[in-house]
Amino acid sequence: MKEIVLDTETTGLSVKDGHRIVEIGCIELDNLIPTENKFHCYLNPERKVSEKALEVHGYTDEFLSNKKKFNEVADDFLSFIKDKQLIIHNAEFDLSHLNNELKLIGKDIIKNKVLDTLGLARDKYPGSQISLDALCKRYRIDNTKRTKHTALIDCELLAKVYINLIDQKEPTLNFHLQEKVNLNKSNKKILHFKKIVKVSDQEKKDHTNYLKSSLKKNFF
């Protein structure tokens, strides 16, 4: 099944205050595996970016001034997402802005099936922090590239978080486990790592040559 991981950046929080989209990022998943198909664009919002939003993503009015307007990319965007399920963290925010942009140019709102990973995380970890950064930390996903909120990087991280949230990813071997493993009689905890790494034909050949040359035994 093909799905679209989607994120936006905006000039501010609410469309009620006239805020607009400045960036759209999308990554296609095919049976939970990211494909080469991506959609990304910066947009001229035709208004100023709020100070708070500037702190979040860093896109200045000057940087956005020569970018395309939403009506120039709308058809390509809609063609990319088609009728695929959308994976969004805090979907209400992104959809409110996307649907507002579509309404402004006389197009129908998005009617795709949507999976909100924020709600999924809230159900799975009630009372815990469920921001994208918090979930990356929980699943030991490297988010060091995320110095600012950018739509495409956030999509890449969200794709990994999503796979973990629905329990479709094997545990990653990590020698710096945050949890202490108690091995006393009353509380035994065993961690199993099932990740299988396949060797290439070249690696097999190199290993065979190594055995021949190093062991000097005529086993082959």
Residue among 19, 57, 97, 149 flagged as catalytic: 149
Contact 116/188 with Cβ under 8 angstroms? Answer: no
Region of residue 90 (phi > 0: left; psi between -120 and 50: alpha; otherwise: beta) = left
Q: What are phi and psi of 97, to 5 degrees?
A: -75, -40
Q: What are phi and psi of 42, to 5 degrees?
A: -95, 150
d(CA 182, CA 99): 51
Q: Kindly report the number of other CB atoms within 10 A of residue 142's CB atom.
A: 9
Please indicate whether residue 40 is annotated as part of the active site: no
Q: Which residues pair with 9 in a beta bridge?
A: 23
Q: Name the residues annotated as catalytic.
A: 149
